[in-house]
Amino acid sequence: MHKKWQLTGLSILLVGITVFMAGCLDENNNSGQEIIPQLDSVGPLLADWADWDNDGTGDGLRIGFYFWDSSENKIVFDGVTVSVLVELYTKINATPNSWEKDRLVYSNTFSITSSQDVNPAPGHGLKIPAGDINVNHETDHSLGIIEVSVSVPQQGEFHLPPDNTVRLYK
């Protein structure tokens, strides 16, 4: 009977330690891994007009980029929530050879959980429907500026260099 009480006491102690250790985990770290191992940078930004339904007409912008480690190897991940802010601007000609952003015509924060969600390969990437881009075809230049910021929990913000030649409409 004495050994039975020892085993029961040991079991209760182990359960208590497990519960205590679980309580020490970061509340935002439900998956046990809220970081992308060895993440050093993101890019390059690739944005193109795409025909998602293969009907011969452009449906909108498809945006993609890669995640990189410090040795410039691509990183593939799954199960980490990452925020991607995409902003599109019209542009004005500031000088004969220089363009500056003008009007904000689209802004959205996408939530991704896998590197495949932003893979630039056909069939992947973030999609911005043409109807969501608030441009005036009569007055706005067809080319605009895209800015993308990537926010990785516990690892910070990554700002991709702006692309000054993204097509805003077709």
CATH number, domain with residue 94: 2.60.40
Provide the edge-to-edge strand list for the sheet that holds 41-50.
Answer: 41-50, 60-68, 126-129
| CA angle 80–81–86, rounded 5-degree value | 130
Rounded Cα distance, 62 and 86, in Å:
11
pLDDT for the residue numbered 100: 87
Host domain of residue 40? 36-167
pLDDT for the residue numbered 2: 54
Does 30 reside within a domain?
no
pLDDT for the residue numbered 96: 67
Does 20 reside within a domain?
no
Does 113 reside within a domain?
yes
pLDDT in tens, the chain (170 residues): 555 545 444 444 444 444 334 443 444 444 455 789 999 999 999 999 999 888 988 899 999 999 999 999 999 999 999 999 999 999 988 676 778 899 999 999 999 999 999 999 888 899 999 999 999 999 998 999 999 999 998 999 999 998 888 999 98
Rounded Cα distance, 147 and 162, in Å:
5
Does 155 reside within a domain?
yes
Number of structural domains found in the chain? 1
Label residue 120 exposed, middle or buried (CB < 10 Å: 0-12, 13-18, 19+): middle
Does 29 reside within a domain?
no
Does 13 reside within a domain?
no
Q: What is the pTM of this model?
A: 0.78
| 44: amino acid identity, one letter | P
